[in-house]
């Protein structure tokens, strides 16, 4: 293998960009507390007051479990599309991908396509079936005709693993970022994020979470667009002029638009592509959003709007990164000790922020900082809600109480679960402050792609899937994804300190997904139990419901 | 939901027709996405010089940039095409099938 360590490092950087953890891992060595930024804090306070007002309003509309988990199923496709985009585009999309474009050029653009391409696939293969079969969690679908207790427990366990790792990664990133942008202490930042998240979710449930995500998506789109328009105006809105000047100053020169090392090695590239594509399709907080719309029609529209917004924003980010090559990269003000080409003040992930300052002054910088904070809040709120529903709906209501729990009891459990998850996130966030948490995102996506996705897709498409097969596939997928991530560079080298990783790739998906599918297939085929026959028989009705929506959970009447 | 409704729908030849038509369409669109995307990934891995080519003289735009922009646009247009057909033609047929099943059950 040529240059394995460099490739592994690049791929690691790419994977870690999936969440704010990139900011965390980068920022850990670099974050120095900045002076308190009043513009940013002022605008952020406005955002917090607005969202708290919405939470107050949402609380009066959150009476039933359906309200809490899915906003009563009454969100429109357009609203949900914005909210999905808000859930999906983390602070790392804005900061990490701009920085990646700034340093690596077209490699970052190629990476963004991999990040985008999951959406059409989710639409074609999953969106309408998710809506027609699911109610509150994706475990509703996997356990539809299989053993409720066992299959739900498994789905809840892997959901919670995904949610917890993603949540902690976000928290650590949030603490570092807020320290940098707002000049607040790491600990204070964490408590603030955790407390706001608990308030949004416990009082406002899915209604408040959805609106926080919608507002954040609008702020992100607006902020990004303003920065890119102001930046492009410096080049007469000519892409040719921008690219010519960027190439003339960039260290890559004319190679800025030529593929570099990111995808030079096909196995890393394919595994990363699979992990991004099917990991997205197995993230519980993303899947949950499909149950908030009225019907399959709106579910499809959600993806249409969400993917359009994500595609637009990625192109905005690419242009921002390119413009920053000249506007930030040639301005000594943004380098430590005024050395152009030296260390960027605040670390590589601050490129987008410096660009905002350069083209729009302190006001735009303040706005973009507030956007980054809002982005973190929206993502952690969505995660906490997904985790809470796995605990209260799947484990408490369906597995422990076997469907006999009263709605008010279930609601109470879900609120305690949210507070519990919030506390866990803050405590673990404090514990992991000095650690490289990039592996947590690799793990979250790996588990989502290898444990959640295979069982979910097989349960919808394959008549032959039985409880034993689902359990074998799900647990083996989980085990192999976790094992491979532990043996990969991000844990074996970065956390345990060994010189060389045992598993040379960063994303386990290419290896752990086949394990899950194969196990589910073989065990189901060999399953000769009477239960298995009944489960195969039940596929017929499930199939009709998946295709037509007859019997699907409907929007609650208000 | 009574299982007999599901049975009636399953026995309706229109249902078989809907599932067949929608299924074919879905797999066709998915195949385009898979082939184009992984084809591009392979091109980047095995033929980076081709991806780095500048097809227009006097312009710095490379095949890689064009292919990237092309994918963002085409994949989104495919979602648009699917949503239009699924929310129009397929949903109309679906409504008929469901209505017929309820009617029969009366």
**Average pLDDT of chain A to the nearest whole number:** 87
Question: How far, in Å, CA of A504 to CA of A303, rounded?
Answer: 34
**What local confidence, expressed as pLDDT, does residue A150 receive?**
93
* Residue A177 pLDDT: 82
Q: What is the pLDDT of residues A133-169, one digit of tens each?
A: 988 999 999 999 999 899 999 999 999 999 998 898 8
| Nearest residue of chain B to residue A116 (CA atoms) | B72
Q: Where residue A344 falls among pLDDT bands split at 50, 70, 90? A: confident
Residue B27 belongs to some domain of the structure? yes
- Confirm or reject contact between B82 and chain A (CB < 8 A): yes
Are B45 and A263 in contact (CB < 8 Å)? yes
Angle between helices A91-104 and A148-182 in degrees, nearest 10: 60
Interface membership of B18 toward A (CB under 8 Å): yes
ipTM of this predicted complex? 0.93
Confidence of residue A26 (pLDDT cuts 50, 70, 90): very low
Q: Residue B40 CA to chain centroid, in angstroms?
A: 19
Who wins on pLDDT, B34 or A28?
B34
Whole-angstrom Cα distance, residue B80 to residue A300? 9
Which of A6-10, A280-284, A374-378, B70-74 is most confident?
B70-74
pLDDT surpassing 70 at residue A340? yes
A471-485 mean pLDDT: 94
Looking at the DSSP bridge assignments, the partners of residue A293 are: A75
Supply the pLDDT for residue A282.
92
Using CA atoms, how far apart are residues A517 and A453, in angstroms rounded to an integer?
10
A517 lies in some domain: no
Q: Which of A89-98, A299-308, A404-413, A491-500 has the highest mean pLDDT?
A: A299-308
Burial annotation A474-505 (CB, 10 A radius, 16+ → b, else e):
bbbbbbbbbebbbbbbbbbbbeeeeeebebbb
The total of structural domains in chain B comes to: 1
What residues make up the domain containing B93? 15-105
pLDDT of A22 > 50? The answer is no
Maximum pairwise Cα distance, chain B: 72
CA distance A390 to A379: 17
- The CATH number that applies at residue A165 is 1.20.1730.10
For residue B89, the model assigns a pLDDT of 93
Q: Which pLDDT value is given to residue A34?
A: 61
Nearest CA-CA distance, residue A110 and chain B, Å: 6
A477 falls within a domain? no
Number of domains in chain A: 1
Contacts of B103 in chain A (CB under 8 A): none
B59 contact partners, CB below 8 Å, separation of at least 6: A240
Question: What is the per-residue pLDDT across A441-458, written as a single tens digit (0 to 9) for each?
Answer: 778 888 999 999 999 999
Q: What is the pLDDT of residues A29-73, one digit of tens each?
A: 445 566 667 888 888 889 899 999 999 999 988 888 999 999 988
Using the predicted structure, report yes or no on whether residue A386 has a pLDDT greater than 80. yes
Q: Say yes or no for a CB contact (<8 Å) between B33 and A314.
A: no
Its domain, for residue A194, covers: 36-438
B100–chain A Cβ distance below 8 A for any pair: no
Q: pLDDT at position A283, please?
A: 92
pLDDT of residue A25: 39
A–B: how many Cβ contacts below 8 A?
156
- Are B38 and A243 a contacting pair at CB < 8 A? no
Provide the pLDDT confidence category of residue A20 given band limits of 50, 70 and 90.
Answer: very low
- Chain A positions touching B54 (Cβ under 8 A) are 257
pLDDT > 70? residue A21: no
Interface with chain B: mutation pick from A11, A239, A258, A281, highest number of B CBs within 10 Å: A258
Local structure of A75: helix, strand or coil: strand
Q: Is residue B82 part of a domain?
A: yes
Give the pLDDT mean for A255-265.
80
B9-47 pLDDT tens trace: 988 999 999 999 999 999 999 999 999 999 998 898 888
- Tell me if B59 and A549 make a contact (CB, 8 A cut-off): no
């Amino acid at each position: 293998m040529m240059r394995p360590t460099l490739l592994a490092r690049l791929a690691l950087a790419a994977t870690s960009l999936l969440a704010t953890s990139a900011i965390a891992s980068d920022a850990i060595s670099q974050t120095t507390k900045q002076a308190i930024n009043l513009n940013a804090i002022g605008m952020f306070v406005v955002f917090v007051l607005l969202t708290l007002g919405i939470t107050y309003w949402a609380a009066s509309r959150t009476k039933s479990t359906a309200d809490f988990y899915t906003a009563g199923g009454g969100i429109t496709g357009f609203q949900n599309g914005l909210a999905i985009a808000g859930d999906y585009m983390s602070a790392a999309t804005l900061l990490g991908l701009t920085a990646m474009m700034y340093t690596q050029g077209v490699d970052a653009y190629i990476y963004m396509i991999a990040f985008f391409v999951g959406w059409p696939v989710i639409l074609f293969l999953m969106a309408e079936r998710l809506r027609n079969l699911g109610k509150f969690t994706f475990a509703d679908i996997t356990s539809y005709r299989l053993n409720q207790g066992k299959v739900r427990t498994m789905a809840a366990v892997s959901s919670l693993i995904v949610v917890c790792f993603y949540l902690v990664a976000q928290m650590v990133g949030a603490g570092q970022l807020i320290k940098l942008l707002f000049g607040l202490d790491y600990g204070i930042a964490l408590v603030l994020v955790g407390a706001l998240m608990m308030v949004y979710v416990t009082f406002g449930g899915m209604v408040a979470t959805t609106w926080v995500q919608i507002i954040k998506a609008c702020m992100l789109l607006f902020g990004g667009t303003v920065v890119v328009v102001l930046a492009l105006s410096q080049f007469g809105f000519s892409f040719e002029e921008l690219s010519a000047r960027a190439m003339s100053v960039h260290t890559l020169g004319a190679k800025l638009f030529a593929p570099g090392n990111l995808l030079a090695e096909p196995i890393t590239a394919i595994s990363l592509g699979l992990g991004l594509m099917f990991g997205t399709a197995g993230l519980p907080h993303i899947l949950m959003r499909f149950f908030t719309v009225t019907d399959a029609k709106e579910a499809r529209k959600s993806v249409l709007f969400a993917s359009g917004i994500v595609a637009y924003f990625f192109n905005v980010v690419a242009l921002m990164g390119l413009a920053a090559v000249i506007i930030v990269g040639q301005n000594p003000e943004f380098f430590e000790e005024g050395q152009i080409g030296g260390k960027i003040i605040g670390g590589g992930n601050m490129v987008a922020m410096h660009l905002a300052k350069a083209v729009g002054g302190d006001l735009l910088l303040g706005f973009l900082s507030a956007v980054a904070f809002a982005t973190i809040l929206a993502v952690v709120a969505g995660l906490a809600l997904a985790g809470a529903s796995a605990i209260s709906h799947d484990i408490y209501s369906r597995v422990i109480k076997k469907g006999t729990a009263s709605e008010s009891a279930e609601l109470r459990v879900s609120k305690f679960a949210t507070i519990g998850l919030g506390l866990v996130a803050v405590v673990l966030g404090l514990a992991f402050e000095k650690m490289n948490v990039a592996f947590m995102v690799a793990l979250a996506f790996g588990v989502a792609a290898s444990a959640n996705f295979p069982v979910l897709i097989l349960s919808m498409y394959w008549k032959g899937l039985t409880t034993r097969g689902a359990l074998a596939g799900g647990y083996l997928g989980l085990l192999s994804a976790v094992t491979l991530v532990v043996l990969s560079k991000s844990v074996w080298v970065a956390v345990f300190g060994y010189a060389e990783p045992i598993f040379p790739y960063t994303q386990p998906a290419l290896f752990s997904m086949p394990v899950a599918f194969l196990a589910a297939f073989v065990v189901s085929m060999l399953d000769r139990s009477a239960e298995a026959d009944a489960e195969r028989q039940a596929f017929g009705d499930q199939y009709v419901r998946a295709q037509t929506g007859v019997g699907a959970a409907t929007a609650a009447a208000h | 939901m009574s299982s007999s409704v599901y049975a009636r729908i399953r026995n309706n030849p229109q249902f078989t027709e809907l599932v067949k038509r929608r299924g074919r369409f879905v797999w066709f669109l998915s195949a385009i996405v898979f082939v184009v995307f992984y084809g591009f990934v392979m091109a980047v891995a095995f033929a980076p010089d081709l991806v780095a080519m500048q097809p227009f003289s006097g312009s710095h735009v490379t095949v890689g940039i064009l292919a990237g922009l092309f994918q963002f646009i085409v994949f989104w247009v495919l979602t648009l095409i699917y949503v239009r057909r699924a929310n129009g033609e397929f949903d109309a047929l679906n409504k008929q099938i469901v209505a017929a099943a309820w009617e029969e059950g009366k």
